[in-house]
Structure 1
Amino acid sequence: MLVLKGIKAPMLFLLVSCAVATYALSHNPRHEKFLRQHSDFPQTAVAGQDYCGTMMLRRGLTRPCKATNSFVHVPRTQLKDICGWAGTHYRRALRLSRAELPVTTCSLQGSSRGRCRYWTHRGKRHILIGCDPSGWPVHFEESNFIPS
């Protein structure tokens, strides 16, 4: 059997396979977009009162102004868990979180001179997400927004 610096070829193959699988899972463009648009943990501290205006601009959601967007303030692993044990099947390919989670929802009030103005609503609620076949969150269903 071929030996490379003390590591047998099958062991080397296993290590390379694990590295490739880890890279593929961590580079899921749809999941990365979901995190950019909807994950904010720990919650970003914003000077003044304009959390939504600041976050929507920072996350690239203001060209054009996005009508509604929610930021969930839990660790990314907790969002992923909704695709499994921490969520239940809702309808279609959506999963409903079992727990109420801290969420900030930004709703467009209007825009002037190219600047988007948002109404901010903070609270806890169950969220609906879509997951890809590998169990990664890739879609946030905004229609589930019910102020508490």
Structure 2
Amino acid sequence: AAPLLLGSPRDTVAVIGQSVILGCEVSAQPIAEMKWRKEGMVEALPGKHRNIIVQSRGGPQRHQVIGWLQIQEVRQRDAGVYICQAWNMYGEVSGSARLRIISADSPLASEVTHHLVGVFDVSDDEDDSPREGPSGSHE
């Protein structure tokens, strides 16, 4: 079956100089390939961006892939929409998040520094969100 998006990256506000992590979680059989890119750019990240790290690993279930995009010491030019794309032979799915960058003297800055950066839009707590099992009826 085509990949199913379990967790999409979350819109994020960061202060210049902070590090940001965006996350993406998919389920696919056969297992999906995953890449990240920035809206308006063709090449996959990290490309030439030395402050960007891309990682992925298998998830808790057999057919899951969890990916991260980490941007270290964000600058204004890192602002924009980041897209996570996952695909296999049956299809493709994507999720995106907008990253806003603010300066340290912005009124929002004190709020931003106090909470951890959100990775997923989907709750990470298995108990309070019903998840599709491996025999999901999404054909």
- Normalised by the shorter chain, which TM-score bucket? under 0.3
Q: TM-score, normalised by structure 1?
A: 0.22
In terms of fraction of residues, the more helix-rich structure is: 1
In terms of fraction of residues, the more strand-rich structure is: 2
Greater relative CO (CA pairs within 8 A, separation 6+): 2
- Which of 1 and 2 has greater Rg? 1
